[in-house]
Structure 1
Amino acid sequence: MTAFSPRRLAALVVAVGTVLLTGVVTAAPAGAADPVDYRQTKTLTREHVATDGTTTTVDSREVTVQVDRTQSLRGRERIHVSWSGARPSAGRSADPYGFNGMNQEYPVVILQCRGVDDASAPEAEQVRPETCWTSTYLQRYAAGVVSAGVWRHDRYASDEDRADQETLPGWPAECGLLPGSVFAQHLLPFEAASGTVYPSCSNTTIAPESAIDAALPPADIAAFTNLDGTGDVQFEMRTSTENESLGCSSEVPCTLVVIPIMGLSCLDADPACLQTGDFAPGSSNLSDVGVDDAVSPRFWWSESNWRNRFSVPLDFALPPDACDVLDSRAPVGMYGSELLNQASLQWAPAYCLRADRFKFQHNRMPESSALRLLGTGDAVAAFVSDAARSSTVDLAYAPTAVTGFGVAFVADLPDNAGELTQLRMTPRLLAKLLTQSYPATNDVRAHEGLENNPLALNTDPEFLELNPGLSTVAAEAKATILSLSEASDVMTAVTGYLAADPEAMAFLGGEPDPWGMRVNPSYQDIDVPREDWPMLDTYVRESTRECEQLIRSPYLGLVAAPVNSLRKISEAVLDAWPNVQTQCTRSTTTDPWKFGRIARQNYGVRFMLGLVSLGDAERYGLRTAELRTAGTGPGATFVAPSVATMSTAVAQATQTAPGKPFTFDRTSLDPTGYPGTMVVSTAARVSGLDAADAGHVAQFIRTATTEGQISGPGNGQLPDGFVPIASTGPTAALYAAAQQAASTIEAQKGPAVAPPTTPATVPLGAATGSLAVRPPAPRSGGVPVGGTPQTVDGLPAPASADVEAAGPSGTTVAQESGAGGTAVKATLGLALAGVLGAPLLRSLATRRRAS
């Protein structure tokens, strides 16, 4: 649990007072290009000192680094880091993360470090190499023959760094002593947030999160620069929740350090220091052979490299347990849709940190279960997308969020060519994956009906026609899509997408695709749409493995291995860790066998699909597939999620009657609308609900559909992956229905329509007339939920999607408009008197990610 110090709270109160007095809302200048949270340009040089004392510049470059988002960051969120003007890299590693990326030349090292790069700050709070996180000790400790100690010849290094470190006071005994006449050693301890100093010279002297078998894969990276000097990566943030030793949080400032490696500047004519590289620019180092150390990332900490750093200040959001820490009131629990998770995470502090509101708590569960709790009186509200199939009480449904599902993917291109950035999927391909119609391995071809089917998705001619250039080496993880094991309105929407497509329905009915692939007989004629997806296949493969001979489990069910939450799916795709449960494990040779999860996929050969929420996809920086909406073959239309394409879709959502949820007829959607779009509504009883609870629900609806629709990462704002609901444009009907439902729920006079009341909260922007919100940046070629500037209440709605001709496959792709927008950094403070006996902060300091 994160502690909130009195000093920190006092500072927050001062911030609140300042904002309340000034009401400041600042924006980037009109017409500013590529507004981002951070951009800086520096001249980086490599200079050698000759024997006569003169200096020679051997390389000089104007390097620009920019980061799309630095404010209100959350654990495991990925931010987009890009650069230009850097020296092209050489000897590209198959895996650039952690120690695996050390054998490269001229990469860009990116690290998350504790502290601020501000000389005026106390020394203990300044960022230093000792406070930068690396995933292994080998990135901090150097030892080798004296001639290999190139850091000793760094012209900018201190005398201490050039000296025989092991002879200096304070050398840790556990790090051993090597004879200085033969070996050179350098030690860079890691200083943890707790004050503990880890020598970091072996696997036993490192911080606990730095183990080789750590729970999370490395985030630190030595990234490759293209031949034109540009490059980009998505860097994963770690908070104190994920990395306690690093300790980044809303209270502990941290910095993203970006170091374009130019090569060490040499003090003398040492041959190893003067090296310029063994590999040609743009080449690969697939064999992981040694490189010239002077131009490698191995000595990122040496002063020649460290002085070239770009320091990006990072601001972290309140932790997930902030309301439990700061608000002792009992929560008002609302239950249901996981689609709302990311919004609920940002909305909750806007309620619990105000004494005039209640302590909001979102408890995720299947929507049908949440609706049953409404009927029994055990819940005050439920978040759902579909109406209750049967109910003993009358309910009103208030549209609260526009979001949806996506097919997330991670895939590497062959020959070390990088990641796949665009994927196209059809309803029939999704049907093939869900019905376990790919055998996965050759010995499952004995399964009746699967004899002639492709082994996996990446060997299916239908998939390859749409997605050429991928590896065709089959694997179990490539034969499935990680999906949900429990009932969900998301599954209703996914299977509704299948049910609306004639090709998918023909395949489910037993008709082979044009290449002869047939549906798994266990799933033939399955009813769709449906809220759950059952595991129907019972085939047990014959295997020589002892565990499979002893444990007779349906094999394809182990390959599919669905899970009970969309978040788990997102994190699995983020880590490229399939949930395939075919690994035979046991603790000792006498223990019984059990099936377990296979290992994470290695960088360079990853391929995995998962069904995710768009909110999760945006937080974790996951790429999502374009889904086919019309046509077949080369003339088909594929649509990616964006504000524009989702707005097109939501404009066609309808109610069966006033007070009912907005749903879609997926057989008649506009082909330029994203078919995964969904509306999440807040459902509540319209009679028999306690007056206080009815007031809480009405307040939640009014707040969530006004100030909660301001796009941004701050407390109370709407995160990426959602389309803002406004009183005009394609979501106008949703906005009006929400206000109507809030009044009906508050009145508790039954289903009779009550006149809407004026919302209790005023949309941000009312005081200034308007507030434009900048869309997020593309994620390394992916298409995020974002687009033209989104306005809040009473302002123009987003433009409709453009349909553009696609690439070589000849299909068309509906994409968001490329129109620019004004970047806004809004700071809003709200007085929070009475909570925990003192005012507390609701601070919104945000800037949208920019393209």
Structure 2
Amino acid sequence: MRTQRRVRLISGLTALLAAVGLVVLPPSGGAGQARAAEAEDSAFTAPGRAGRYDDFSDLRVTVHQTRGLRGQGVRISWTGGKQTKGSFESNFLQIMQCWGDDPSGPRREQCQFGKIQAMPDGIRNRGLASSLVGFQSGEAQFDPDENEYPFAPAPGDPTQGEKGWVPFRPVSGAPTTGPNDHTYFTQFTTNEQPFLSTGPDGTGEAVFEVQTALESDHLGCGAVEGAAARSCWLVVVPRGEHDANGQLAGNNGLASSPLSASNWANRITVKLEFEPIGASCPLDLRVRPVYGSEILAEATGSWQAALCESKDVSFNHIRQGEEAARGQVGTGLGLTIAPVEASEDSDKVVHAPMAVSGLVIGYNVEFPRSSKQLPRLRLNARLVAKLLTSSYHHDLPGQGAQRGDLPKENPRTLRHDPEFLELNPEFRQGWPPELNMPAGIMVPQGNSDYARMLWRWLQNDKHAREFLSGKEDPWGAKVNSHFLALHLEKDDAISDFPKADPVSYAPDPRCPEMKVDLIDYRPYTASLHDSGLRARKGYNGQKAGADCSSDPRKLTGDAQPAGERFQLALVDAATAARYGLGTAELRNADGDWVKPGTTSFNKAVAGMKKGPEGVLDQDPTLRTEGAYPFTTVIYGAASTGLGAELRRDYADLIRYAAEPGQQPGIEPGKLPPGYAPLTGELRSQALEAADELAEAQPGETAGASSGSSEGGSSGGGGTSGGDAAATGGAASGGPEGGASGESDSGTTASPAPGGAADGSSKDTVARTGPLTPEKILGIIRWVLLATLIAGIVGAVAGPVLLRVGSMRAAGAPGSHLEGNSSVPQGGIR
């Protein structure tokens, strides 16, 4: 089946990229630690000004975080505006990110703008989102003040010629050579927001994706120059009721670019200060790899800098699936949700609670023809089951309202489902049927503990279980029949998200061989982090068209336009907070509608029962009032057979995580938003585990204390989507660097550099599976070539290569891979 072949192909490419490319990625967060999207301590409000044609002097724009920035979402709000007319016909804001060393602000050539292709419904002139500024007198976009880039008439025929355009000049390198030059950024990588609406009360708000040099090297934000990180600018161009030529916007609305001289003169600039990009720890420190769950990645990124300041060691989190991490406890610390299954004659494995967080369904949903975000979204188990089984017609590729082999009774999309409308009645009115179409739900590829938790929730919900088994819902909808053979309603070993429908279609009859299948149309993401970034951008990476004229021919896709975004994604709570995503309310087993957060996490933990090794059974079906069903406790697991120095270092990490690392905050070393502090009991358990690990005596075995549980070692090989691990004993690093080794059979190979050379060589775990490394996105351009060599050398060079690579990564050029199904690009820090 083609879908299965595609999955194998993607897995293979993912493994290759991770195996050769991860060693040189910088540590998570670098010196820049986790920052909340609402870091109000550095909020800055800038006033508007009176323009030649429109008066913006009452406008006040607030950027709610201006310091300590990294790649993240930043809330922007404004007051004193005028209500947007129609579909962005007039009275709206246009926002972009720019670089520039002049303290008065950037030049327009230094701004990332002009690449958006998907226009909102009703926009009649694409010039609003372009870099074209020079037009002939009499044209709607003509600007009498545009003297720098005017229209250039053709010799002998003044009615013909070339329109003037503003070139983009990067922080280093040559300027662009035309308005369609995509050398530095594309419609998929840009963060520009040309259409932000103002409500009837003159207010509005949006979340802006701020980019660092890791995501956009041509802007250079955060790159270290001398002793400081490069600052950048947020530029807001308010648009009123007059165009650049002074004429009132008619029925066709405004037409000119914000970069046109008259419009640019009304700009509002706000300085953005970034955390330095690069290694947060000195190169001469010992490097200790930490393997496993990316749900803890935001926390480990925050803790790392504080730890290397107080200890002679650097901890590098290699994000990979929990199953893979359980197979690494003989060489380092594994981060897991389920306990390690150790054989009786293996070295004992200690489990230390590290943090409490949760799996969430994040969303970026806008009201129609508006930038206003939906404040609440509710999903029950059966709706989630429909999304995961491609049981909505428009979650399958094709044309027309009815697609694939789905029954005609199945709704077009989630938004058209009567069950969804009962839970979210605000969608019954004011939502045009052809706009704001949900783009399915983004999920990572591969196996994970959190995927097993989600399926466990569905299988224990009566209505979801019956739907998955083939029973129709009260409105006549049935599960996609291609998923029935998987027995999702009862398979207690499932730990991934299959895409089983083989449907495909050719979007253009001129090249019938170019077919779109389910993985093209609803692609996997590389990780939970990648899911969150795509949701913020409003583009899940789907391909729905074909370019028959390109060489070679290719499938194509577009982001959802402003005012029409409806993105759902499976993410962790900390990533949702980082990118300013909404989080869906879910109904727990007690019948409560619950949002993820500290209170609902704590209630869930209080209701959990202890399993083997003292690890809590994180059962999403427990009937606990107010408990969030996908609450996770991430454990650090390590073998007592590790070398003494290695055990002491990991014990120090556990102690830090359990004490100062549990203080909530956005400063380095604290617990970022999206986590709940450990309870007193969990903290005590962590400290006891740290002592036991540090003081372990050689020869201690798991003995009869080892066991299995329902939440134990995951069935099936592989790692969670976007996971990173090495196979065949090759050295590997994650986004934070590190090294690991594991044989193809799943048994542990030689320990990582600095590992248990002086410790026991006994097997540590009873079962492990083959590993599927992470498909990294947005990695700096030259790294993709350089790491072909680094991946080989890294197996021998160990931590030294890792640390040097971390330093080099900061200033390297970025990656702009337009057309990749995994776009939008974004560096993972």
TM-score higher than 0.5 here?
Answer: yes
Unaligned runs of 5+ in 2: 1-23, 32-37, 116-126, 224-228, 704-802, 808-829
User: 1:259/1:457 Cα in 2 relative to 1: closer, same or farther (>3 Å)?
Assistant: closer
Cα pair 1:109 1:297 within 8 Å, conserved = yes
SS state at 2:184 partner: helix
Q: Determine helix, strand or coil for the equivalent of 1:209.
A: coil
Q: What corresponds to 2:693 in structure 1?
A: 745
Residue of structure 2 in register with 1:771 after alignment? none
Asked if 2 retains the 8 angstrom alpha-carbon contact of 1:336 and 1:367, the reply is yes
Q: Which residue of 2 aligns with 1:464?
A: 421
1:63 paired to 2:59: yes
Select which of 297, 307, 332 maps to 1:380. 332
1:87 counterpart = 2:48: no
**Do residues 453 (structure 1) and 410 (structure 2) align?**
yes
Q: 1:386 to 1:531 in 2, by over 3 A?
A: farther
Name 1:322's counterpart in structure 2: 279
Cα distance per residue 1:686-745 (max 9 Å; x no partner): x222111101111111112223223334432322211233xxxxx222211111111111
1:661, CA displacement in angstroms? 2.1
Deviation at 1:491, TM superposition (A): 0.7
Query: Deviation per CA, 1:521-569, whole angstroms, max 9, x where unpaired?
Result: 324464355451363846557989889997999x656655444522332
SS at match of 1:344: helix
CA distance 1:175–1:246, shift in 2 (3 Å): farther
**Contact between 1:38 and 1:312, CA under 8 Å: does it hold in 2?**
no
1:445 deviates by: 7.3
Q: What code does the residue aligned with 2:682 have?
A: L
Query: Is the 1:38–1:67 Cα contact (8 Å) retained in structure 2?
Result: yes
Secondary structure of 1:45's counterpart equals coil
Note the 1:427-826 alignment, pairs <5 A: 427-439=381-393, 440=396, 450=407, 452-468=409-425, 469=427, 478=438, 480-519=440-479, 520=481, 521-524=484-487, 526-530=489-493, 532-533=495-496, 535=498, 537=500, 561-580=523-542, 598-629=557-588, 637-656=592-611, 660-685=614-639, 687-725=640-678, 731-749=679-697, 750=700
Distance (Å, rounded) in 1 between the aligned partners of 2:63 and 2:546: 43
Quick one: distance in 2 between partners of 1:146 and 1:449?
55
Structure having greater relative contact order (Cα 8 Å, sep ≥ 6): 2
Give CA deviations for 1:329-377 in whole Å, capped at 9, x if unaligned.
Answer: 452111110111222233333334x373311111122211211222xx2
Matches of 2:600 and 2:628, distance apart in 1: 5
State the distance in 1 between where 2:163 and 2:399 align. 52
CA contact (8 A) 1:486 1:564 kept: no
Conserved? CA contact 2:589–2:623, under 8 Å: no
State the one-letter code of the partner of 1:133.
Answer: Q
Compared with structure 1, are the counterparts of its residues 450 and 696 closer, same or farther at alpha carbon in structure 2 (3 Å cutoff)?
farther
Q: Which moved more, 1:513-522 or 1:464-473?
A: 464-473
Unaligned runs of 5+ in 1: 13-32, 49-57, 94-103, 120-125, 154-160, 265-270, 280-288, 726-730, 754-835, 841-851
User: Which of 287, 310, 325 is residue 331 of structure 1 equivalent to?
Assistant: 287
Q: Provide the alpha-carbon RMSD of the alignment.
A: 4.6
**2:751 matched to which residue of 1?**
none
The TM-score with structure 2 as length reference comes to: 0.67
Amino acid of the residue matched to residue 136 of structure 2?
A: V
Taking a change above 3 Å as real, the CA distance of residues 579 and 203 of structure 1, as seen in their structure-2 partners, is: closer
User: Residue in 1 aligned with 2:178?
Assistant: 202
Q: Per-residue CA shift, 1:401-442, capped at 9, x if unaligned?
A: 111111123344446685544321111111222234345468
For the pair 1:127 / 2:86, whether they are aligned, the reply is no
**1:107–1:224 contact (8 Å) kept in structure 2:** yes
CA contact (8 A) 2:356 2:632 kept: yes
The separation in 2 between residues aligned to 1:559 and 1:112, in whole angstroms, is 30
Task: Report the Cα distance in structure 2 between the residues aligned to 1:151 and 1:448, rounded to whole angstroms.
Answer: 52
**2:44 is the alignment partner of 1:39:** yes
Task: Kindly indicate whether the alpha-carbon contact (under 8 Å) linking 1:141 and 1:185 is maintained by their aligned counterparts in 2.
Answer: yes
Are 1:394 and 2:335 matched, yes or no? no
- Rounded Cα–Cα distance in structure 2 between residues aligned with 1:582 and 1:274: 40
**Inter-partner Cα distance in structure 2 for 1:134 and 1:447:** 39
Change in CA separation of 1:275 and 1:166 when aligned onto 2, cut-off 3 Å: closer
Distance 2:507 2:675 in 1: 49
Structure 2 residue matching 1:571: 3-state secondary structure: helix
Displacement of 1:609 after TM fit? Answer: 2.4
- Cα pair distance change 1:674/1:128, threshold 3 Å: same
Q: What's the CA shift for 1:679?
A: 0.9
Residues 152 and 447 of structure 1: CA distance in aligned 2, closer, same or farther (over 3 Å): closer
Letter in 2 for 1:573: A
How many Å separate the matches in 2 of 1:312 and 1:558?
39
Contact preservation (8 Å) 2:385, 2:468: yes
Alpha carbons 1:192, 1:245 under 8 Å: kept: yes
8 Å CA contact retained: 1:411, 1:420:
yes
Q: Distance in 1 between matches of 2:547 and 2:167?
A: 37
> Equivalent residue of 1:527, what SS?
coil
- The answer to whether the Cα contact below 8 Å between 2:442 and 2:568 also exists between their aligned partners in 1 is yes
Counterpart of 1:770?
A: none
8 Å Cα contact 1:522/1:537 also seen in 2: no
- The one-letter code matched in structure 2 to 1:89 is T
- For 1:95-244, list aligned pairs within 5 A: 104-115=89-100, 118=103, 127-136=106-115, 139-146=130-137, 164-165=147-148, 190-194=168-172, 196=173, 198=175, 202-203=178-179, 208-210=183-185, 213-244=186-217
> Could you say what secondary structure the match of 1:232 adopts?
strand
Q: Percent identical across equivalent pairs?
A: 26
Return closer, same or farther for 1:529/1:722 CA change in 2, 3 Å cut-off: farther
Give the superposition deviation at 1:40. 2.8
Within a 5 Å distance, the mapping from 1:348-367 to structure 2 comes to 348-352=304-308, 354=309, 356-367=311-322
What amino acid does structure 1 have at the position aligned with 2:135?
G
Larger Rg: 1
The AA in structure 1 aligned to 2:533 is: E
Task: State the Cα deviation string for residues 488-534 of structure 1 (Å, max 9, x = none).
Answer: 11112212222332222233344332223233332446435545136
TM-score when normalising by structure 1: 0.66
Q: Are 2:295 and 1:305 aligned?
A: no
Q: Deviations 1:554-600 (Å, cap 9, x if unpaired)?
A: x65665544452233223323333355676678979x8x99x67443
- Please say if residues 578 and 597 of structure 1, whose CA atoms lie closer than 8 Å, have aligned partners that are also in contact: no
Distance between the aligned counterparts of 2:623 and 2:46, measured in 1?
46
Matched letter for residue 742 of structure 1: A
